[in-house]
Amino acid sequence: MDTVPAVDHRPMLTLQQATQLTVRLYGVTLTEISTLPSYNDQNFFLVTKEDNKYVLKIMNSKESMNPTRMEVQTLAMSFLHQRGVPSQIVVPTTTGKLMSMEEIDCGQGAQTYCVRLMTYLPGKTVAESPVTVQDLYQIGKLAAVIDTTLKQLVSPNLDVLQSNEEMWSLSNIPLIDDYLSVMDGDPLQKVIKAVVKQYKSLVAPRIVSLRKGIIHGDINDQNIIVTPSANGRHEVSGVLDFSLLMIDCYVFEVAVTIAYMMMENPSPLDVGGAVLAGWESVMVLSEEEKDSLFLLVLGRLCQSLVYGRYNVTKYPDNKEYLLTTAKSGTLLLTKLWEMGKKNVERKWFTDAAMFIDK
Catalytic residues: 218
249, 273, 348 from 281: Cα distances, Å:
18, 12, 15
- Torsions phi, psi of 118, nearest 5? -120, 155
For residue 38, give the H/E element and its range. none
| Cα pseudo-dihedral 104, 108, 114, 115, rounded to 10 | -50
Q: Among 62, 202, 82, which residue's Cα sits nearest to residue 149?
A: 82
183, 184, 201, 217 from 192: Cα distances, Å:
9, 12, 15, 21
For residue 37, give the H/E element and its range. none
**DSSP letters for 268-328:** GGGHHHHHHHHHHTTSPPPHHHHHHHHHHHHHHHHHHHHHHHHHHHH-GGGHHHHTTTHHH
Cβ neighbors of 169 (< 8 A, separation 6 or more) are: 163, 217, 246, 248, 252
| CA–CA gap between residue 174 and residue 273 (Å, rounded) | 27
Cβ neighbors of 96 (< 8 A, separation 6 or more) are: none
Residue type, 129: S
| CA–CA gap between residue 241 and residue 252 (Å, rounded) | 17
Question: What letters, b where the CB count within 10 A reaches 16 and e where it falls short, cover 121-143?
Answer: bebebbbebebbbbbbbbbbbbb
| CA–CA gap between residue 117 and residue 175 (Å, rounded) | 34
